[in-house]
Amino acid sequence: MTHQHPVLPAVEIEPQHRDADAAIIWLHGLGANGHDFEPIVPELRLPSSIAARFIFPHAPEIPVTVNGGMRMPAWYDIKAMDLERVVDEAQLLESARRTTDLIEREIARGIDSRRIIVAGFSQGGAVAYHAALTFEKPLAGLMALSTYLATPDITRPSDANRRLPVRIYHGSADPMVPMMLGERAAVQLREMGLEPSWQSYPMGHEVCLPQIRDIAGFITQCLNA
């Protein structure tokens, strides 16, 4: 399948002790870039049994309506910040396709699809939901951080990922993406037959140390299963 865009540029961090046999593709939030979550890798303190390559792609710069049309790294345009989140669905789907290209590239590099985790924070999480759930080969897991399901009407799990392990993380004091949007995503996934697990923290629109520990646990569980 050919797309009009090349593979997304990304920060890549190889495992230190041996060649990668797993991959974690992690999408940043609005206005950030692939370097945003780079410092989290050593903080995870993953066991030596896990040799995962971390891939942190950079979103393209596009005008964002809710920020006065300013150009910034974004996976899709947000047209209104009401609770329903009016988003540019075509741009979101294109970002999901480009995420799928990254997954396919890891498979081409020799990584089994069942050892690939997709993660996303905020806007990146909305893309991660669609890319991972609709992917046609089984994945290891999906982590949704401080995010929401922007495309519930068109995001349907593929046969391969109907039982995909999904972990949702959210801050109870998140002023950007209210926790109820994260809770709604969990309900929507359950209606699709998935069994997402949920964890909230007393934090805003961010990541905290207890959450980093929980993320490390989920990665270990998915890749050591």
**Is residue 174 annotated as part of the catalytic site, yes or no?**
yes
**Is residue 3 annotated as part of the catalytic site, yes or no?**
no
C-alpha pair distances (Å), 75 with each of 58, 60, 102, 125, 210: 9, 7, 15, 10, 27
- Ramachandran class of 146: left when φ > 0, alpha when ψ lies in -120 to 50, beta otherwise: left
Residue 177 clears pLDDT 50, i.e. is over it = yes
The distance of Cα 130 from the centroid of its chain, to the nearest Å, equals 9
pLDDT at residue 81 in the model: 79
- 36, 122, 146, 170: which is the annotated catalytic residue? 122
Record the tokens describing residue 97, joined without a space: 């396709």
Short-list 174, 181, 173, 171, CA closest to 82:
181
Q: Where are the domains of the chain?
A: 10-223
**Is residue 58 annotated as part of the catalytic site, yes or no?**
no
Residue 2 clears pLDDT 50, i.e. is over it = no
pLDDT bucket at 1, cuts 50 / 70 / 90: very low
Average pLDDT over residues 90-111: 98
> What CATH topology corresponds to 10-223?
Rossmann fold (3.40.50)
Average pLDDT over residues 155-160: 98
Backbone CA torsion sign across 216, 125, 205, 28:
positive
pTM: 0.96
- 36, 77, 88, 174: which is the annotated catalytic residue? 174
- 101, 158, 205, 214: which is the annotated catalytic residue? 205
